Amino acid sequence: MLRHQRDSAIHCIVRSPLVLSIVVLCGALALSAKDFEMPKAEPASSYPAHEVHPMEHVGVGVDAYTGDKQSVFKSKFDEHGILPLFIVFSNDSDQPIALTDMQVQLVTVDRHARIEPANEDDLYRRLSRVERRVDGTETRIPLPIPRKPKAGINKNTREEIETAQFRARAVEPHSSQSGFLFFDVSGIQQPLAGGKLYITGVKDGNGQELMYFEIPLDNAAVK
């Protein structure tokens, strides 16, 4: 008898329009809060923007996440003048390569600007900065002004940046490592056109530095 009453009560609750609405809303929120997913890395040579060193059996591919590709992020990097570049290292050699001393620069056409990747604090600061809109008004950060860059950034944005950034310190033999490097290109109309990505400081298992990579970025957004 008690079991019948309990089942009846549950049945009535589930049939309630309010409960059903809440269930549907929770489901929608769960979908909208979907975690960032790193794009699948393909061999470096498969990207339109790449450079492969046949003698060293190491290659780097670059994919620019502009336009519709930025939908992979919840953060509106393009609105803050930030260019995400997906970097793929492919190591087809029989020994690991070290990235601990790696240096990366985005050099714009005619070498007008040399831009190093932004670190996390740079990105937090950039995403929380007061921006002047086209109509002349400003979007202001609510007072009190955050003392730390992280204070003006929500948890989801922080986690997305931390997850997306390229963090590999080495690439094992016959494997790949990938992730995003973010560049502050505010004020530069077309940073990819005629631009190049320079990568130095990559070393083999014996500590010998490999040839530097010079990757033209004109086709980086094609893939």
138 near 97, Cβ under 8 Å?
A: no
Q: How far is CA 132 from the centre of its chain?
A: 25
* Architecture of the domain delimited by 41-216: Sandwich (2.60)
pLDDT for 201 beyond 70 = yes
Instruction: Give the rounded percent of residues in the chain with a pLDDT score beyond 90.
Output: 65
Q: How many CB atoms lie under 10 A from the CB of residue 221? A: 18
pTM for the model: 0.77
Residue linked to tokens 């009453």:
5
Q: What are the residues whose beta carbons fall under 8 Å from the beta carbon of 163, sequence distance 6 or more?
A: 35, 36, 38
Mean pLDDT over 4-24 rounds to: 46
- For residue 13, is pLDDT > 50? no
For residue 200, pLDDT over 80 is answered with yes
What percentage of the chain's residues is helix, strand, coil (to nearest 5)?
Answer: 30, 25, 45
- The answer to whether residue 147 scores a pLDDT higher than 50 is no
Once rounded to an integer, what is the mean pLDDT over residues 177-183? Answer: 98
> Residue 74: exposed, middle, or buried by beta-carbon count in 10 A (0-12, 13-18, 19+)?
middle
Joined together, the tokens standing for residue 65 give: 């996440």
Beta bridge partners of 214: 198
Cβ within 8 Å of residue 87, ≥6 positions away: 60, 61, 62, 104, 166, 178, 179, 180, 181
For 102, the 3-state DSSP assignment is: coil
- Assign 14 a pLDDT band (cuts: 50, 70, 90): very low
Coil, helix or strand for 171? strand
pLDDT value of position 25: 39
- pLDDT score of 76 more than 80: yes
Single-letter amino acid, residue 167? R
- Euclidean distance between CA atoms 173 and 57, whole angstroms: 10
Q: What is the gyration radius of the CA atoms in the chain, in angstroms? A: 23
Whole-number Å distance between alpha carbons of 190 and 211 = 28
Highest mean pLDDT among 12-26, 118-132, 144-158: 118-132
Cα separation, 220 vs 191, whole angstroms = 11
Amino acid, res. 127: L
Mean of all residue pLDDT scores within the chain: 82
When pLDDT is averaged across residues 169-182 and rounded to a whole number, the result is 98
Mean pLDDT value across residues 145-159:
67
Structural contact between residues 166 and 181, judged by C-beta atoms closer than 8 angstroms: yes
